[in-house]
């Protein structure tokens, strides 16, 4: 009786075969994990759903204050899914008060204030630009 063919092959061929099978299994695991596991897309979608749900309570709690009437909330795709805050407030004190009010509602996702503008700063930037243009002339 003779040994099976794979037993008579050189050791380096056997190691190569084991390594290739290991790589194939690992790649298969990665593919399955990214399709079924908690991948970034699924986490972002879950956070965006949570943001959308929380925005409803934010609007009820905050937009009834007149000083925040020009503030808008939206689902933000950055930061893995977040609440976006945009619009205009009058000054830094209002921006801080808005932030504190939002944080008091304990949002389950990050809050991005990147689109929030402050009127006093906008006016100062316009003054600075006009002074800069005047000094060039």
Domain count, the chain: 2
Containing domain of residue 83, as a range? 44-131
Instruction: Tell the residue number behind the tokens 């921006």, with chain if given.
Output: 95
Q: How far apart are the first and last CA of the chain?
A: 102
Which pLDDT tens digit goes with each residue over 50-107?
A: 999 999 999 988 888 999 999 999 999 999 899 999 999 999 999 999 999 999 999 9
pLDDT at 135: 61
Q: Take residue 6 and report the two structure tokens written for it.
A: 């794979």
One domain for residues 48 and 31: no
Mean local confidence (pLDDT), 12-25: 83
Residue 73 lies in a domain: yes
One domain for residues 84 and 31: no
pLDDT at 1 over 60: no
Residues forming beta bridges with residue 74, ordered by sequence position: 84
d(CA 130, CA 136): 10
CATH code for position 99: 3.30.1340.30
């Amino acid at each position: 009786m003779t040994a099976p063919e794979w037993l008579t092959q050189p050791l380096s061929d056997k190691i190569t075969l084991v390594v290739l099978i290991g790589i194939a299994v690992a790649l298969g695991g990665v593919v399955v994990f990214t399709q079924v596991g908690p991948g970034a897309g699924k986490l972002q979608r879950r956070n965006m759903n949570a943001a959308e749900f929380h925005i409803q309570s934010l609007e009820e709690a905050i937009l009834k204050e007149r000083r925040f009437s020009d503030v808008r909330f939206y689902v933000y795709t950055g930061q893995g899914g977040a609440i976006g805050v945009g619009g205009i407030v009058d000054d830094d004190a209002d921006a801080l008060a808005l932030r504190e009010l939002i944080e008091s509602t304990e949002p389950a996702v990050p809050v991005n204030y990147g689109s929030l503008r402050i009127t006093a700063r906008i006016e100062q930037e316009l003054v600075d630009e006009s002074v800069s243009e005047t000094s060039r002339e």
